Amino acid sequence: MRADAQRNLDRVIGAACECFAEGGVDVSVDDVARRAGVGHGTVFRRFPTKEALLDAVLGKELDRMVLLAQGALVEEDPWDGFAGFFRAAADGYARNRALVESKERCQELPQMLVVQESAHELVRRAQKAHVLRRDLTADEIFELVPAASRFPDVILDGLRG
């Protein structure tokens, strides 16, 4: 790939991350292109549709989640591991409107499987140690993540077993 092409691609992805995070999925491709300093034709050459561009951005964000989840599994205290990831995930959702608005799209991305596996293990460990309430499934608990963006402590207090 030519050097200028690579540079523009990086700019486009960076701009798309910022735009979608701040403005949600309804931000126009023109806005992304403007912020990247390229014409919007250049965006469509790299990403055949707006949806493909969004997938790239969501994928990057989910990659971060994978790291967070695996880091939490290393923590030996079951509650600290669970709560740490819960807080971090909530923060990620708080900082990214597109993530909140694209829940079902994220389900289609491969990284989501890894995140869910780790998250389920975090919940299993915490429930086994009786530090996390057991009347909710792991899936139900993580439905609360977007909700916890503002006051995670309150929700964690409610979840503690």
Tell me which residues touch DNA (CB under 7 A): 1-5, 7-8, 28-30, 37-42, 44-45, 48-51
138 contributes a contact to its own copies by CB under 8 A: no
Query: CB count, 10 Å around CB of 150?
Result: 9
* Min CB(12)–DNA separation in Å: 9
3-state secondary structure the chain: CCHHHHHHHHHHHHHHHHHHHHHCCCCCHHHHHHHHCCCHHHHHHHCCCHHHHHHHHHHHHHHHHHHHHHHHHHCCCHHHHHHHHHHHHHHHHHCCHHHHHCHHHHHCCHHHHHHHHHHHHHHHHHHHCCCECCCCCHHHHHHCCHHHHCCHHHHHHHHEC
Q: Which is nearer to its own copies, 56 or 136 (CB)?
A: 136
Binding status of residue 144 toward its own copies by CB under 8 A = yes
Neighbouring C-beta atoms of residue 136, cutoff 10 Å:
16
Residue 158 contact partner, candidates DNA, its own copies, none, CB within 5 to 8 A by sort of partner: its own copies
From 10-18, 51-59, 113-121, 143-151, give the range in contact with its own copies by CB under 8 A: 143-151
Q: Which does 151 bind (CB under 5 to 8 A by kind): its own copies, DNA, none?
A: its own copies
Q: Which of positions 98-137 make contact with its own copies (CB under 8 A)?
A: 133, 136
Q: How far is the CB of 155 from DNA (least distance, A)?
A: 34
By C-beta, is 25 or 99 nearer to DNA?
25
* Interacting residue ranges for its own copies, rule: CB under 8 A: 133, 136, 140, 143-144, 146-148, 150-151, 153-159
